[in-house]
Structure 1
Amino acid sequence: MESPPDETEGSTALAEPANPHRNAFIMMGIGGATIAAFGLAAIAGIFAPFFLGVVLTICVHPLRVWLERHGVPRGIATGAVIVTVIGLLLALGYAMVVAFGQFGALLAEFSDQIAAFGQDVAAWLSSIGVASGEVDTIFASFDPASLLSFLGGLIGGLTGWLSLLVIIFTMLLLMGMDAGFVPTLLKQLYPARPLIVASLVTYGANVRRYMVATTVLGLAQGIVDWIALLIIGVPGAFIWGLLAFVCSFIPNIGYFIALVPPIIFAALVGGWPMVIVVIVVYAIINGVIQSVIQPRVIGKAVNLSQTITFFSVLFWAVVIGPIGAILAIPLTLLVRLILVDSNPQMSWIRPLLGELDETRAVMAQFDAEAKAERKARKAAKAGGVPSGNPPASAM
């Protein structure tokens, strides 16, 4: 007579409490997230500079703490922080204006070569049967002067940039003054909401470590790329070094964005040999900084998987524009703060988001056990002992 089935089978699946409204809650969450995304896209013009001001205020907060710790009055410390941030923004803005001017001169100088390069690409595509008549028409009508007119329109729209800077500077001024009360407010809030306070403090520390480390390493990367391109002889080396610095804030795809322009101009002046040199130099410089140095410096500040990081860049770029790609990591960490870090019931999802320390330990244990098992089978086979259980003797 067969024994009844073990009632403990499937107990793992029955361990969670039944929730008849689970699917409805999931759909409501997806719907709410969609509405929030469209809402942010609608106010991207003010949300993007506002959040940039928040991130900058978080980054310079240690300077305020250091000044106040050394006896500097709170008002002077606030003014010093605001002046520091505005000075950095003005320096970056000046560098971008210089780069725009050089880019316009570069396009004017190489307009004929760029047009010829476009024709060569069109001819090559046609020779392999990829290009269609429409593509040929596009390349045939390509005129580098259109890029100059685009650049002129971009610089001509300086009023929009000025309004954006006014919003950023105003937010820095106001948040810089309000930031002086934040430590005391957190101490007051901690007895009632300790998890929220801890999550806010951790968020600020992680964003600050990520942004400061990325800025310093991106600046080093841009300078090294600039010098390397000068040595190689690629036109517009300063422009491409500045582009490498800006793209260092865009995870995963920033490297490829920064690589395309110097490859094109290297092909115009030096052909394939110079292109290969540029690719190798960029791969070495960016590989060492972004793959070796940056993870060690940032550490666990960004516990996000590579897939989520890549998707966050695309998502925030679509929602709030190009600045969303630069602020993708701080924005994603903010969403995580709201939905996961401040909610103790969501701690189970942390490994799925990228906190893999425990997962790596479990995988290492599995690998060690599998390796030991393979060694045992190999030793048993070498000794002439069959692996597995011996066959049962006949009755």
Structure 2
Amino acid sequence: MTTLAASHRGTMILVALAAATVVAVGMGMISSILVPVLLTLVLTICAHPVRVALERWGFPHGLATGSVVLVVFLFLAGFVVALVIAFTQFVGMLPQYAGQLADLGSKIGEWLGKLGIGQDQIQALLKGIDPNSIVDFATGLFGGLFNVTTSLIVVLTMLILMAADAMYVPTILRQLLGTHQELVVSLAAYASNVRRYMVVTTMLGIVQGALNTVALVIMGVPAAVLWGLLAFLCSFIPNVGYFLAIIPPIVFGFFVGGWPTVIGVIITYAVINGVVQSIIQPKVVGNAVALSQSLTFLSVLFWAVVFGPMGAILAIPLTLLARAILVDSDPDARKWRPAIGDIAEARRLIMQDDAAAKAVRRARRRAREAGASLEAQPSEDRASTG
């Protein structure tokens, strides 16, 4: 019977993994549609309290919804314009460093040759340091962002429709509360958590990018605005975003200022990003994310494979949505929350275990003390006691 149950459980796990693979491949095939929709969903969730506040202040529903849509659209449009200008400047100044890139490539090739790496592998690597290859790589890196942000018509349309439909969401959730209470609670918690995470990360990312840009300008690093925008985008990518953001300014800082500039860039990024992402952000966001570091890193890799660069940026909101639907809304599956990173729940279980362990230790200590006192009695007293 046990073998049959284990076999059934193994079959269910394999079927679930196969279904997840099919769903992931399918989402990747229609990523051009899903990515703008998911981005709009996150933006609508973040902007919803503003619309509610405007309506509470007496603004008509249409005017409140239109105001929020306009603000979000202007933010996206301004970001696209800044990104295009910075990227154009980067492409224009890149040929100036062609010789230095070639020298850097030759030095890397010599170092790799000393390590015993074959010439074919070295040549394949050195092709990536060519200015044209760097432009192609940067275009591919920002291509996913351009595909979304340049499709502002689709985003704007979805934003208007979702913002208009959002006014009916509370009524729908109240109707579902009686029959699907766990689902309603999990979706409400998801909206609150993802709103807190995205708003805080956006504000801190703007500060972080601005400070990095100012520091790079002072140090004379080329394309400082582009690297500041890159730092802003990478602030949404946990674990690996910092390393993606710091590599370009290190390389071009070395070209213009040598090792002193490189050390200055490293120290500046370490201080700014360390304070923002390691001290300020966790305190403000709190337990809104509640994902383990391993799962967070895995989610970045997974969504980046499925949706490209925008998948890495939206990795946390998408993972929280999957958790809300698959785990939080199912009472039987909620026992897995501590395993996937719910610190508060894990701490509560640990405290329960500690309390139980302390109770057991107290009981054992009293038993030992009782046994010791019984052994200390004279033999006639023990006999009379017996």
- Please classify the TM superposition score into its range, dividing by the shorter chain length: 0.7 to 0.9
* Matched-pair contact (CA < 8 Å) for 1:117–1:268: no
The structure with the largest helix share of the pair is 2
| Structure 2 residue 212 is the aligned partner of structure 1 residue 225 | yes
CA distance in 1, matches of 2:63, 2:348: 49
- What RMSD in Å do the two structures reach over aligned CA positions? 2.9
| Structure 2 residue 264 is the aligned partner of structure 1 residue 281 | no
The residue type paired with residue 88 of structure 2 is G
| Structure 2 residue 190 is the aligned partner of structure 1 residue 203 | yes
| Structure 2 residue 347 is the aligned partner of structure 1 residue 347 | no
1:20 shift after superposition: 6.8
| Structure 2 residue 231 is the aligned partner of structure 1 residue 238 | no
The residue type paired with residue 294 of structure 1 is Q
Q: Which residue of 2 aligns with 1:24?
A: 11
| Structure 2 residue 292 is the aligned partner of structure 1 residue 309 | no
Of 46-55 and 173-182, the range deviating more from structure 2: 173-182
| Structure 2 residue 89 is the aligned partner of structure 1 residue 102 | yes
Q: In the TM superposition, what whole-angstrom CA distance separates every residue of 1:4-54 from its partner, at most 9, and x where no partner exists? A: xxxxxxxxxx9xxx6773222222212211111111111111111110010
What 5-or-longer segments of structure 2 have no aligned partner? 362-371, 376-386
Q: Which residue of 2 aligns with 1:330?
A: 317
CA distance in 2, matches of 1:155, 1:285: 24
* Matched-pair contact (CA < 8 Å) for 2:145–2:310: no
Q: Which residue of 1 aligns with 2:157?
A: 170
Q: Which residue of 2 aligns with 1:129?
A: 115
Q: In the TM superposition, what whole-angstrom CA distance separates every residue of 1:215-235 from its partner, at most 9, and x where no partner exists? A: 000111001111111222222
- Percent identity over the alignment? 49
What 5-or-longer segments of structure 1 have no aligned partner? 1-13, 374-388
1:143 shift after superposition: 3.2
CA distance in 2, matches of 1:78, 1:161: 22
What pairs up with 1:77-156 in 2 under 5 angstroms? 77-126=64-113, 128-138=114-124, 143-148=130-135
What pairs up with 1:350-365 in 2 under 5 angstroms? 350-360=337-347
1:360 shift after superposition: 3.6
Of 112-121 and 42-51, the range deviating more from structure 2: 112-121
CA distance in 1, matches of 2:142, 2:216: 26
Name the SS for the 1:345 alignment partner: coil
Q: In the TM superposition, what whole-angstrom CA distance separates every residue of 1:298-343 from its partner, at most 9, and x where no partner exists? A: 0111010000000000000001111100000011011111111111
Q: Which residue of 2 aligns with 1:68?
A: 55
Q: Which residue of 1 aligns with 2:378?
A: none
1:173 shift after superposition: 1.6
Of 146-155 and 224-233, the range deviating more from structure 2: 146-155
* Matched-pair contact (CA < 8 Å) for 2:300–2:315: yes
CA distance in 2, matches of 1:50, 1:361: 37
Give TM-score scaled by structure 2 length: 0.84
Q: Which residue of 1 aligns with 2:255?
A: 268
Q: Which residue of 1 aligns with 2:43?
A: 56
* Matched-pair contact (CA < 8 Å) for 1:312–1:328: yes
1:57 shift after superposition: 0.5
Give TM-score scaled by structure 1 length: 0.82
CA distance in 2, matches of 1:154, 1:206: 29
Name the SS for the 1:344 alignment partner: coil
Q: 1:159 to 1:352 in 2, by over 3 A?
A: closer
Q: 1:20 to 1:240 in 2, by over 3 A?
A: closer
Q: Which of 237, 245, 256 is the matching residue for 2:243?
A: 256
1:148 shift after superposition: 4.4
Q: In the TM superposition, what whole-angstrom CA distance separates every residue of 1:108-147 from its partner, at most 9, and x where no partner exists? A: 2222222222122212222x23442124434666531444
